[in-house]
Amino acid sequence: MNTMSEQPVSVSADGLASWNEAVQRAERGESVPVIAHGEHVADVVPSGEIDRLRETIEVLSDSELVRDLREGLADMAAGRTVSADQMAEDLRARAANE
């Protein structure tokens, strides 16, 4: 899991060296906070992290999927589960009946 770096990068209009450092740290898997004019204004994050965030947003935006996930977690907590073998057998039986 990627973590936020403890060392922010301060940037300025001519701060190419600091941008290079931020990119290098992102290449190593770090999320790097960007400080401009004393304010946290952005983060440089590894591209894989952006993909994971987009997927999370997509899932959380689907209220039916979120409901199904909650129901599944409640079923697990209550012990209402089946084994993978039982599931495979059920799927085979359904396919045979089609």
Q: What is the pLDDT of residues 22-33, one digit of tens each?
A: 888 889 998 888
pLDDT at 17: 74
pLDDT at 72: 93
Q: What is the pLDDT of residues 44-93, one digit of tens each?
A: 889 889 899 999 999 999 999 999 999 999 999 999 999 999 999 999 99
DSSP the chain: ---B-SS-EE--TT-HHHHHHHHHHHHTT-BEEEEETTEEEEEE--HHHHHHHHHHHHHHH-HHHHHHHHHHHHHHHTT----HHHHHHHHHHHHHH-
pLDDT at 2: 47
- Which tokens hold the place of 97? 């009946």
Q: Which comes out higher in pLDDT, residue 12 or 84?
A: 84
